[in-house]
Amino acid sequence: MKSATGLLLSASALLGASCVNGLAEEVFAAIDKQDDGLRTVNKEIWENPELGYKEVHAHKILTDFLEEQGFNVTRSAYNLSTAFRAEYSSGEGRAVSFNSEFDALPGIGHSCGHNLIATIGVASAIGVKEALENQGVSGKVVLIGTPAEESMGGKVKLLEAGAYDDLDCSLMAHPGNDLYASYGRTLASWRANVTWSGEASHAAAAPWLGRNALDGFVSAYSSTGLYRQQLMSTDRIHHVIQGTSDMVANIIPDFVDTVWGVRGKSRPRAEQVREQLFRILYASSNATNTSIEITPFQDYWDQNPSFQLAQAYYNLQKEYLDPSEDSETANFTITAPEDDDGEASASSDQGNVSWFLPVIQVSFPVGGTAPVHNAGFRELAGTDFAHEQAIKTAKALALTGIQVLQNETFAEAMWTEWEAMIKEISVGLSENMGNSTRNSTRKRHVH
Ligand SMILES: [Zn+2]
Ligand SMILES: [Zn+2]
């Protein structure tokens, strides 16, 4: 399979380069023309951080701007108050889409840089619209406003509501420190709220009447520590205490409220780790005679990008946006799928999207050393430099989208590769993980 993929890649890469030739300048000019507005959108979102499903200001700023730009905008789309869909079409053809995320983190604002992701989605859509409106390209561009990425999985709800059903690919970007990466896997991630409930009692006068909820948690915490020896390097288990009953030393604690996260390289592996965690959690409840409640609230699947799209993006970026003039250290990179196990990555609800259609989530640098989810990264994400990097990224993403619209051979190869990949990564999925993809129902938009 590897050699076949390689052959397809070299053929499509050549076709891709010649296809967007001649209109890259116009596409870039259309994006640059709106740069003041895009900078304002970026700044407004960065200065007004909002948590998942509460992104009211971002929703307004983005949808108003998109409407001014001539997109057909649906606000509060798919029954999610802060989701939206903006589209523009010209004639018959394939449909390319971009995602704009815009939620922030509690306490540390836009420390994941979703203000930049939002801006890139809009700028990319403007670029493809130019090709559709004035450069003779036919098809459709769709920008989906995807709320609540950080923990509640807006894209999972959007997928269930059919937001991606009529699309041929989903393109997006995420900021980081120093890397332009075209291909990046992410880990499958599952999260649950776990509580232990016991019985309060005087810790000295009648401790035998108490049932200790804190001991329940500590028992699970310790057993997880023992289990770590059996974990693979791409597995993760992490947890926090969110709240407890009033903690005083002379009362047996009767309530502990926690959040547990489990991650693995793939959905089947995350499921294996999760099953062992369940054994640990139930054992802790038995051992301490406390009752336990497990309430799952997140199920992000591993992100398996389209290598076809990653390669196209990489080639277009190199051809049109060589950064060597701007930075001595930054370089464009692409990793082959077999060399990327997702170890140095987090998780994303774009992972779920990757099981439904070809996607990429590229990364771009905003400089500095403060990592994502650190308050220092919020400052990096708000600079003019970060905005410039975002606009460059949007330009290469727009050209990638145009290649999907224009180049039938490329689009066909992209879907063929995706179908083979889904078959491969579905091996080992258990029945209770449900129907994983829309493989059986989706329509190929090849004309
Ligand atoms: Zn984040
Ligand atoms: Zn993020």
* Res 324: pLDDT: 63
Q: Residue 201 C-alpha to ligand 2 middle, in angstroms?
A: 44
288 and 226 co-located in one domain: yes
Domain assignment of residue 440, yes or no: no
pLDDT digits (tens, 9 = 90+) for 114-166: 999 999 999 999 999 999 999 999 999 999 999 999 989 999 999 999 999 99
Last residue of a domain, one of 243, 275, 300: 300
Q: Residue 227 C-alpha to ligand 2 middle, in angstroms?
A: 29
User: Is pLDDT above 80 for 44?
Assistant: yes
pLDDT digits (tens, 9 = 90+) for 211-262: 999 999 999 999 999 999 999 999 999 999 999 998 999 999 999 999 999 9
250: domain CATH number is: 3.30.70.360
Mean pLDDT of the chain: 91
Confirm if 27 and 130 have CB atoms less than 8 A apart.
yes
Give the pLDDT band (50/70/90) at residue 19. low
The tokens for 186 are 């992410």
15 and 141 co-located in one domain: yes
Domain assignment of residue 439, yes or no: no
* Residue range(s) defining the domain that contains residue 147: 2-186+302-433
For residue 55, give every residue at least 6 positions away whose Cβ sits within 8 Å of its Cβ, in sequence order, or none: 82, 102, 103, 147, 148
156 and 31 co-located in one domain: yes
Q: Residue 104 C-alpha to ligand 1 middle, in angstroms?
A: 8
40 and 149 co-located in one domain: yes
User: Is pLDDT above 50 for 10?
Assistant: no
Ligand with minimal distance to 109 CA: 1
* Res 188: pLDDT: 96
Q: Residue 175 C-alpha to ligand 2 middle, in angstroms?
A: 8
86 and 134 co-located in one domain: yes
Ligand with minimal distance to 172 CA: 2
287 and 362 co-located in one domain: no
324 and 392 co-located in one domain: yes
pLDDT digits (tens, 9 = 90+) for 261-309: 999 999 999 999 999 999 999 999 999 999 999 999 999 999 999 999 9
Q: Residue 150 C-alpha to ligand 2 middle, in angstroms?
A: 7
Last residue of a domain, one of 300, 323, 340: 300
Give the pLDDT band (50/70/90) at residue 440. very low
pLDDT digits (tens, 9 = 90+) for 385-408: 999 999 999 999 999 999 999 999
Least confident of 146-155, 190-199, 218-227, 320-329: 320-329
Looking at the structure of the chain, the number of domains it has is 2
Of 118, 173, 140, 171, which Cα lies nearest the Cα of 72? Answer: 140
* Res 330: pLDDT: 55
119 and 181 co-located in one domain: yes
176 and 65 co-located in one domain: yes
Q: Residue 361 C-alpha to ligand 2 middle, in angstroms?
A: 11
Q: Residue 445 C-alpha to ligand 2 middle, in angstroms?
A: 30
User: Is pLDDT above 50 for 6?
Assistant: no
